[in-house]
Chain A
Amino acid sequence: MLGKPEWFTRRKWGGWGLCPATKEGWVYLAVFVAVIFATQFMFTDEKSRMLALGVVAAVLILDTVDIMFRMKKDERETLHEALAERNALWVIITVLAVGIGYQTAVSIAQTGTATIDPVIIIAIVAGLIAKAATNYYLDKKD
């Protein structure tokens, strides 16, 4: 779309996403920051500002995903990324499971009924669907 994969590297140590690796990558990032600032000065009402910010953020997120898909990785890098993401996912699932247990215990102790944040359940169900869809696709493909 807008950015080129060769301008960035995959973020390995500090989260997910991309990190600028070349001058062009930093310029790309600076342009987005400038556009965000410009939209905040361009519009006077809060609603328009938020809308503009949302549009720019959506374009940035979509472009980042597009760049990540187009980024070339060799088989060793792909394996390392898959293992790192798997480990991260297992930690996230463990924390969510502990969270469900904690919320259940606290809510029962306080009100006598179990109350769980639905976002946690939605996250786990969404993960299950993504896993099943990936396995289905890979089983059909290979």
Chain B
Amino acid sequence: MKTKIAEYRKRLGITQEALAAKVEVTRQTIISLEQGRYNPSLLLAYRITKALKQHTIEDVFLMD
């Protein structure tokens, strides 16, 4: 699954570490998500969407 996590994160000026702390995962999980290697649960996708100040999950996560 492709994501726009890195794009929105950089736009907000927050590090991978800070985003990881905000959504209660490890930095490695954020790296995997940004690289599209890991598909998150609905709950994590929702948390990340809110942390990146986006409205819908589809704004951040794009189905291939």
Contacts and interface: CB of A to CB of B under 8 A. Distances in A.
Interface of A: 72, 74-77
> Chain A's interface: helix, strand, loop or mixed, by majority?
helix
Interface of B: 24-26, 28-29, 32, 38, 40-41, 44
Nearest to B24: A74
B26 A75 contact: no
> Chain B's interface: helix, strand, loop or mixed, by majority?
loop
A77 B26 contact: yes
Contacts of B29: 74-77
A76 B38 contact: yes
Contacts of B26: 74, 76-77
A75 B40 CA distance: 8
Contacts of A77: 26, 29
Counting chain B CB atoms within 10 Å of each CB, the highest count among A72, A74, A75 belongs to A74
Nearest to B29: A76
Nearest to B33: A76
B33 to A, nearest CB: 8
